[in-house]
Structure 1
Amino acid sequence: MKRLLTGIAAAALLVGCAPSGQNNESSGNQGSDSTASGPKETVTFTLNWVPYGEHAPFYYGIQQGYYADEGIDLKIEPGSGSGNTIKAVAQGQTQFGWADTPPLLNAITTGMPVKSVGVFLQKGPASIEFLADKNIKSIKDLKGKTVGGTPGDAMYATFPALLAANGMQPSDVTVVNMDAANKIAQLAEGQVDAIMGFFHDQGPTIESKTGKKVDHLLFADNGLNLMGLGIVASDETLSSKKDLVGKFVRATQKSWAEAVKNPEDAAKAMAELAENEPPEEVLVKQLTLAEPLLELDTAKSPGVNTEDQWSETIEIMSTNAGLKDAGEPSKYWDSSFAKADGS
């Protein structure tokens, strides 16, 4: 059975997976030899969902030794939605989480003691997805259609605002309430015309299962540019283990930077180390679709945000999704960790 590699097993894999003629200490991680060879601190990291291609960089980082170089023995756990991941971080059930920004804002305003330490998918993946034969080319083409959504998530909450931003009324579309785990099957089976979801995750999965092409319309391209997924830590961890947070963020930045350059290798690492992941070719496509969302032309390094980005998301959530007592970006985001070039 595949499992996450820890301790001695991880060390063995790191040596075995190093490029020919190299060991882990010579693989481009200069100045970290003593840390890489010393004792590791076991760190738990809970995903937003069950593993899919967006998560490949974390497994690649384990395989390539980027976390080990920071003294981290990383244990990755599947998630069951960003909201549950954030709650697990707040309650100390996991040290770090990978979660979407809109539910993070809501969680913090309700008193959860957590913060973002860097959003990596700076352009949110929230979208309306549909089979290409539906011939939907714009949000206005949803008029008279049925759209599946999951009550309680950010896409469901902001869908009326998406319609309004495109000159439509809520009555123009029939929203069908769906469980998050069933949306893919219900779209593939034609029970609805479209669904609200993350295009880079669900699209390739539907195409793989049905052989039908899937198209999408991003919320971000149609008036609602909300930030996407990133690292969440508890206030307690931020205050008592600041050094560990810095190490984890640096390793994750490097893992993402290298994985998007080598998506096939990252997918192979995930196929070897993860449980219940999609087929390898689907992982490659999912990660490839995620890469533009990093917006590296402006961010320079994965996870590096600006106050303007945070302010825009906060404003959209406050105006359109009922975010109360919104406050400033510093209420939600600690900017001291994710730096350009991992410095």
Structure 2
Amino acid sequence: MRRLAIAASAAVLLLGSLAACGDSDEKSGGDAGGKKKVSLTLNWVPYGEHAPFYYGIKKGFYEAEGIELTVKPGGGSGKTLQAVAQDQTDFGWSDTPPLLKAVATGMKVKSVGVFLQKGPTSIEFLADKNITKLSDLKGKTVGGTPGDALYATFPALLKANGMAPTDVKVVNVDAAGKIAALAEGKVDAIMGFFHDQAPTIEAKTGKKTSYLLYADWGMNMLGTGLVANEATLKKDPEMVKAFIRATQKSWAEAAKDIPGATDAMAELADNEPAKEVLVKQLTLAVPLLKLDAGAPGVNDTQAWTETIDLMSKYGDLKDAGSPEKYWDNTFTSKG
């Protein structure tokens, strides 16, 4: 396992041995040689999507904004949101549907910008299954995890494409066991994030993996982005703006230098996938940014409204409300 290596002038990065929620003394507010200590908890253990954060540290983008960044692994978006709500981390990297549910339950958290604007939710399968369209799933078994947004909206995905829930057998699988279930042939396909899991499946099985994106079949929901506690947004808006500026630059530059970004992650992160997997994961993630429409993390109201409507109709989101209930758009620079 690699030990963290970073020059004395760069931002400090802590990963691996840190618990997902961390300790309160790792939050912002401390002073490190004139830089503010800021913590970010990921949605999961490090994979290629997270490489831009390491790239930003390596290149000094956070340091240039006066930030010493600590990055911590997560255990799912739900746990990351809890850490943000409980003031155990300054920022979280969370999927948007769980954020909507968290706010609906009273958590005082808000998105300050979704980066993966085309949702990565998908149905994944080995290419030799010859599945090319949703109707090819008829008679197949699909592994999913109860409680997540993919599972909740899968029946709607079928209905939107002229299929009935009975056309497919859904098998309940723990989130951590989905890849193994597919690799071992216990299911024909799984619900998951294609840019993360497909390269991992290929590395483990040596077989080509294919996928059908919900977004390409009428069910686009915003993906992962930055969330913060409402108190943080009010208490330290300048720090929030500085952190987001550095993160936007990190993503914009990483998108142009995928080898450099994954090299930075391979150097700085413990427990990351093999380098070739990292490259594939980040390569698949970059188009989801929709950079042709603007700077990373800059959203529009329509995309939020569509996601809220889908979660309200199919994901048991109560008293949905408007995008402003979940998203504060005053912190992101439009570039």
Q: TM-score, normalised by structure 2?
A: 0.92
1:310 paired to 2:304: yes
Unaligned stretches of 5+ residues in structure 2 = 14-31
What is aligned with 1:33?
none
SS of match in other structure, 1:285: helix
CA contact (8 A) 2:61 2:250 kept: yes
What is aligned with 2:295?
301
1:184 paired to 2:166: no
How far apart are the structure 2 equivalents of 1:6 and 1:68?
A: 13
CA contact (8 A) 1:4 1:75 kept: no
How far apart are the structure 2 equivalents of 1:5 and 1:119?
A: 29
| Matching of residues 325-336 of structure 1 within 5 Å | 325-336=319-330
Query: Alpha carbons of 1:290 and 1:12: their partners in 2 closer, same or farther (altered >3 Å)?
Result: closer
Return the letter of the residue paired with 1:309: A
Per-residue deviation, residues 40-81 of structure 1 (Å, max 9, x unmatched): 111110000010000000000000000001111111100010
How far apart are the structure 2 equivalents of 1:266 and 1:38?
A: 26
CA contact (8 A) 2:143 2:173 kept: yes
What is aligned with 2:188?
193
Return the letter of the residue paired with 2:46: P
CA drift of 1:340 comes to: 1.5
CA drift of 1:4 comes to: 4.9
How far apart are the structure 2 equivalents of 1:146 and 1:70?
A: 49
May I ask how many residue pairs the two structures share in their alignment?
317
| Matching of residues 122-161 of structure 1 within 5 Å | 122-161=117-156
Return the letter of the residue paired with 2:10: A
Query: Alpha carbons of 1:40 and 1:6: their partners in 2 closer, same or farther (altered >3 Å)?
Result: farther
Unaligned stretches of 5+ residues in structure 1 = 14-36
How far apart are the structure 1 equivalents of 2:143 and 2:104?
A: 27
CA drift of 1:7 comes to: 8.4
1:61 paired to 2:56: yes
Per-residue deviation, residues 270-297 of structure 1 (Å, max 9, x unmatched): 0000110001111011000001100111
What is aligned with 1:76?
71
Q: 1:100 aligns with which of 84, 95, 98?
A: 95
CA drift of 1:322 comes to: 1.0
How far apart are the structure 2 equivalents of 1:7 and 1:140?
A: 53
Return the letter of the residue paired with 1:10: A
1:261 paired to 2:251: no
Q: 2:80 aligns with which of 68, 85, 104?
A: 85
Root mean square deviation, CA, Å: 1.6
CA contact (8 A) 2:12 2:70 kept: no
How far apart are the structure 2 equivalents of 1:160 and 1:249?
A: 36
How far apart are the structure 2 equivalents of 1:319 and 1:162?
A: 12
SS of match in other structure, 2:92: strand
Return the letter of the residue paired with 2:307: T
What is aligned with 1:163?
158
CA drift of 1:9 comes to: 6.2
| Matching of residues 42-61 of structure 1 within 5 Å | 42-61=37-56
What is aligned with 1:10?
10
| Matching of residues 190-269 of structure 1 within 5 Å | 190-269=185-264
| Matching of residues 271-290 of structure 1 within 5 Å | 271-290=266-285
1:319 paired to 2:307: no
Return the letter of the residue paired with 2:301: E
Per-residue deviation, residues 172-209 of structure 1 (Å, max 9, x unmatched): 11111111111111111111000000000000011111
Return the letter of the residue paired with 1:339: S
Q: TM-score, normalised by structure 1?
A: 0.90
| Runs of 4 or more consecutive aligned structure 1 residues displaced over 4 Å after TM superposition | 3-7
Query: Alpha carbons of 1:12 and 1:251: their partners in 2 closer, same or farther (altered >3 Å)?
Result: closer
CA drift of 1:2 comes to: 3.6
CA contact (8 A) 1:166 1:222 kept: yes
How far apart are the structure 2 equivalents of 1:8 and 1:214?
A: 42
Per-residue deviation, residues 301-333 of structure 1 (Å, max 9, x unmatched): 000000111011111111111110000100000
SS of match in other structure, 1:44: strand
Query: Alpha carbons of 1:91 and 1:248: their partners in 2 closer, same or farther (altered >3 Å)?
Result: same
Return the letter of the residue paired with 2:244: V
How far apart are the structure 2 equivalents of 1:142 and 1:241?
A: 49
